[in-house]
Amino acid sequence: MKSFVQWSLGLFGLLLVSAVILAILATNGGLLRHQLKRYGVRVMRERFNADVQLSNLNILLFPGVRVVGTDLVLRQHGRSDLPPLLTARTFSLDGEFLAVLSKARHFRRLRLDGLLLQVPPRASKTSSPPEQAIEEAEEKPRHGDLRFTIDEVICQDAELDMLRNADKPALIFLLHHLKLTSVRPDAPILFHTKLTNPKPIGQVDSHGEFGPWDKDEPGLTPLSGEYSFSNADLSTIKGISGTLSSEGKFAGVLDYINVQGETRTPDFALTVSGQAVPLATTFNAIVDGTNGNTILKSVRARFLKSTVSASGQVVKRPGDPARSILLEATSRDARVEDLLRLAVNSPKPTLTGAVDLRAKIAIAPRKDLDMVDRLNVHGRFEIRGAQFTSATVQEKIDALSRRGRGEPRAVDAESAISRLEGDFILKHAVANFSKLTFGVPGATVALKGNYNLKSESLDFRGSLRLQAKLSQTVTGVKSFFLKVADPLFKRKDAGTVLAIKVTGTRGKPFWGVDMKSSITRKVD
């Protein structure tokens, strides 16, 4: 009986407390709603330095607090010339009653649908280089008396636009999924996002810290974290193919993000050759949010047995439809057979050897063209220990060396190429050589001309200098009769100088002598 009485009294007390709470909500609900609305508007106004617009706002107080709104618009205060800083089609904010009404203002979850965040160009963007801007943001004091916490913010299909000058389109990032946790006014926010990169197409997964938000200069809001980029289809870029993956880390501010990472493409290929090679790179770059350019501080590419180092930038110049890539590349002790495998459609490279390469590379902003047609390269190379892989070509080199030394019948004459070097310009898939030279014991060759990467056609003219006199390059009766011609082809620095040409194709080259030019001494 006693326990029944105690239970009844406890139930009556619970009902009484509930009735009192309901009475308070009934009599003061309007006041509480007004206070919550005023506090929410204050938070958005002070944290974003923005004017707030809402089409509709409803606040439910039981059993928990739920704030629901539509058509949220935040416009940076005093900047009617700029698009809104933030817009959301709908939003909902949930929390426990007592936690929401406490001084700390603790909310459980915020959902945003149709979120569009548009970061305006920094007013003083031309005053500081990227590294200095990042340092300024790190040293900038953060202060404020607002106190609230949101455990998590969920956004589906959000969009982040980095606005630029009126004559330049915004940089647009489509975020399929964005989750923020531990959201507080003056502390970094943890984030996790997934998005699809448009070109090359691939999935990006990123997490890190964002903020605190810089209400005066949104572009100086700090950002750091890590990313992974998977299953990127390089064939969406005309002229190349392969599946790329990448991992790295980033830090900086929205305007200038320093990125360090690495990529792996096990099947990278240029369409012009169709031969895949495993390609791996490491890089350090700064993404400039003020203009969309990327500064490539260092890039190191490794494929097969070769390594190429480069630096440069990805820029959009006035009048260009897209971005250009400008690089300065160097390589020491790379393998010429590796380079040929990328550029030449042949199962077996025509030449082997160690190569030093220096080049200035520009990739034109023409997405409609094949990659090899977009390339503009000014470079110089030097090949050491060069050997031709074709037995037919190597036999001709051996014969050239024997005849050049005046030993046409020698069996074991040394015929290694001492050095093969040249200056070239690659443009519209045609390599023009202003100077191409190589030497073997007894002979040197100097050529200029061009090679078409697509048709593989050859067209070279130049000179062949032999140590021996013309009559010494053959034996028997031929040697006797050619003695009378020796003076016609002899020069002060050579026993014989002949004007030569190389035509045909890479697979079937034709070597010939221009006798008229040789006799008239019109030799390049």
pLDDT at residue 299 in the model = 93
| Mean per-residue pLDDT pooled into runs of 10, the chain (524 residues) | 43 41 43 63 70 80 80 80 84 80 79 85 55 54 64 85 66 81 83 80 87 80 91 84 92 88 93 89 85 85 94 80 85 91 83 92 84 90 86 81 86 71 92 91 92 91 90 86 85 87 86 81 64
- Count the domains in the chain: 1
Amino acid at 222: P
Residues 418-430: tens digit of each pLDDT: 778 999 999 999 9
Listed in sequence order, the DSSP H helices in 288-430 are: 336-343, 371-374, 391-404
User: Could you tell me the residue range of the domain that residue 506 belongs to?
Assistant: 394-519
Asked, for residue 423, whether it belongs to a domain, the answer is: yes
In angstroms, the CA 250 to CA 421 distance is 41
- Residue 181 to residues 109, 110, 116, 190, 193, Cα–Cα distance (Å): 9, 10, 19, 5, 12
Asked, for residue 216, whether it belongs to a domain, the answer is: no
Asked, for residue 204, whether it belongs to a domain, the answer is: no
Residues 438-451: tens digit of each pLDDT: 888 889 999 999 99
Residues 337-362: tens digit of each pLDDT: 998 888 888 878 888 899 999 999 99
- pTM assigned to the model: 0.73
Asked, for residue 31, whether it belongs to a domain, the answer is: no
Asked, for residue 496, whether it belongs to a domain, the answer is: yes
Asked, for residue 346, whether it belongs to a domain, the answer is: no
